[in-house]
Amino acid sequence: MSDIIKLLPDSVANQIAAGEVIQRPASAVKELLENAVDAGATAIDLFVKEAGKTLIQVIDNGCGMSAMDARMSFERHATSKIRKADDLFAIRTMGFRGEALASIAAIAQVEMKSKPVGEELGTCLIVEGSEVKSQEPCPCKPGTSIAVKNLFFNVPARRNFLKSNTVETRHIIEEFTRVALVNPKIAFSMTHNEKPVFRLPKSAQKARIVSIFGNIYNERLFPVEQKASRIDINGFIVKPEFARKTRGEQYFFVNGRFIKHPYLHHAVENAFADLLPANTYASYFINIGIDPADIDINIHPTKTEVNFQDARYVYAVLQSAVKQSIGKHNLTPVIDFDKDPAIDAMFVNPSGEIKQPEITINPDYNPFAGSSSQQGGSTYQPPAPKGDKNWEKFFQSSDNTGKDASQLTVEHKEDETNKIDDNKFFQVRNRYILTNVRSGLMLIDQQKAHERILYEQFLYSLENKQAVSQQQLFPVTLQFPPVDAEIIRSLKEPLTLSGFTFDVIGNNGFVFQGIPEGMKESELEGVLEKIIESEKKKTGNLNADINTALAKSLAARMAVKPGTVLTSPEMASIFDSLFACAVPEVAPDGSNIVAIVPLSELEKYLKEKGK
């Protein structure tokens, strides 16, 4: 029997390693930026073309490499950081495995120029698919320039799995942001398709955050600082009132390295308990300094995960640090006992007489008569129904009640005009609409019903380019984090088709002159954040997916909410518009909108209660 186990060629082994380390262009950007930081650079420039698929180039003014070091840097497991296994537990640099350049060179065409400080000539090395094509002396500036061209050129299957340029650019911006945030003493720049994206001078930590995320963060940040026996925590938290509706600015850094750690995130969330508005997330930029011997960073190929020797201790110190910052800067609501006499005087009766408060009661008031909209300030606007009513289509699908379509017919269906004046609608807990059907009672979730109505209207407008925009008397200016701003820019066409009209200002700013008809100006930022969140979760790249996600996001944000008091005409309008929809029984998120309680069940319930 012949031997069947063989050693893999280095080129194949490097391609396999590349599959773990270099998953997309952003992965190569991360590795090259971290290498530049490790080289002691004070200025790092990133150039990208076609979302990194054509070119990724990083130029630094670091220590540079000799001709031998430049050649060795492309060998697997060649590193200047480790000499023995124990060194793994004293790592304070970014790269240390010696896999990055070898992995990149295995799946791209790489040109490196590097020169140590004080040398007259540098070296130029060209590697393609792990094969060294040439190496020769060349004139160049001190430091290192690495150009990665045609990523995945020899692995077409991997290249085909890359997302759209918009998505890949978003990931590159995120990796750039992570490295730039934690290294404020280094000047960074990023250029995409020859257009500047970032120009970040050397600065303090807070100034670096502001320069990346915008001037609005200048007044939103409060410092966090805590020193303990084995840990040092510093950074900034964002005031609770500016919490985002999407998981945006949440950055942990351990010894200068960005990490993801749900357990530590929970510590911050707990510190913010009862301070955040509903359905919002805390934002933070927190650095954790700890003895390298107390952590293990060698547990993930991209080194974004770490194990702490005593995670509970880190949790406790972190939570204490955030709580201390919240208390010190008065971020919690407090009762001010230092009253202003001028304000008190406004409530003093000059005559000195104190009168008992009086309550006026209207004896003729009937809570069950007339409109109820005065009680809750309804914000619902009845939509205009489109298309034919889908009564029979829906009721034929309602076989869960055990009744046929004729038994489930709505009482006013006999009127061919489909008017609902004869049908009574009641609101249950300001959340459900209740009405009669021949077989019992129909219960409609008012929010989900309105979402379905709006969803189909927005989708129709997007697909047929018939959106209506309401122009703002005063344009609204909004600023988003870099990654979110890239999403808004990429969605300019579908957003315009849905009724938004806006201009881009700077890198992350937008001026909105118009918004979709029916939307309130106060809802604008929340709707956009919902769209951004939906786009981040999306996996496909088809325009239809964009339209669907956009329609869902707009509908979810603009639909009438539980607790809104509806008048009888408003409930009737929702009822008619819902059954004019193509799919009246299912909400855009797939949940049920309508339930029918059969008469037999009601009778059964009454009999059981009477026993």
Q: Does domain 10-202 have CATH number 3.30.565.10?
A: yes
Mean pLDDT of 22-33: 93
Confidence band for 287, pLDDT divided at 50, 70 and 90: very high
CA 292, CA 343: separation in Å to the nearest integer?
A: 57
pLDDT for 346 equals: 38
Quick one: pLDDT at residue 375?
A: 39
Kindly indicate the confidence band of residue 545, based on its pLDDT and cuts at 50, 70 and 90: low
pLDDT of res. 230:
87
For residue 562, the one-letter residue type is: P
Give me the residue spans of the domains in the chain.
Answer: 10-202, 207-328, 382-449+564-610, 456-515+527-544
Q: In whole angstroms, how far apart are CA 425 and each of 13, 437, 444, 449?
A: 70, 11, 10, 15
- Between the alpha carbon of residue 433 and those of residues 33, 410, 564, 593, the distances in Å are 57, 14, 12, 11
DSSP 209: H
The Cα 433–Cα 571 span in angstroms is: 7
Mean pLDDT of 435-453: 92
508 and 248 in contact (C-beta within 8 Å)?
A: no
Greater confidence (172 vs 508) lies with 172
Is the pLDDT at 420 greater than 50? The verdict is no
Q: pLDDT band at residue 396, thresholds of 50, 70 and 90?
A: very low
CA torsion through residues 417, 418, 424, 430, sign: negative
- How large a percentage of the chain has pLDDT more than 70? 75
| Full-model pTM | 0.70
Q: What crossing angle do the helices spanning 165-181 and 25-38 adopt, rounded to 10°?
A: 20
Confidence grade of residue 15 (pLDDT, cut at 50, 70, 90): low
Out of 82-96, 269-283, 447-461, 554-568, least confident range = 82-96
- Is the per-residue pLDDT at 405 higher than 50? no
**Predicted confidence (pLDDT) per residue in 343-395, tens digit:** 343 334 444 455 555 555 555 544 444 444 333 444 555 455 454 555 444 54
Report the alpha-carbon distance of residue 527 to residue 533 in Å, rounded: 10
pLDDT of residue 305: 77
CATH architecture for the domain at 382-449+564-610 = 2-Layer Sandwich (3.30)
Q: What is the pLDDT of residue 397?
A: 44
**Tokens linked to 242:** 């500016």
Is residue 229's pLDDT more than 70? Answer: yes
Domain 456-515+527-544: top CATH class: alpha beta
Q: Tokens at residue 480, please? A: 């988003």
On the question of pLDDT at 144 being above 50, the answer is yes
> What is the band of 541 on the pLDDT scale with cuts at 50, 70, 90?
very low
Query: What does the pLDDT average to over 564-589?
Result: 92
Res. 97 pLDDT band, cuts 50 70 90: very low
Given the candidates 3.20.20.70, 3.30.230.10, 3.40.630.10, 3.30.499.10, the CATH classification of the domain at 207-328 is 3.30.230.10
Give the per-residue pLDDT at 522: 85
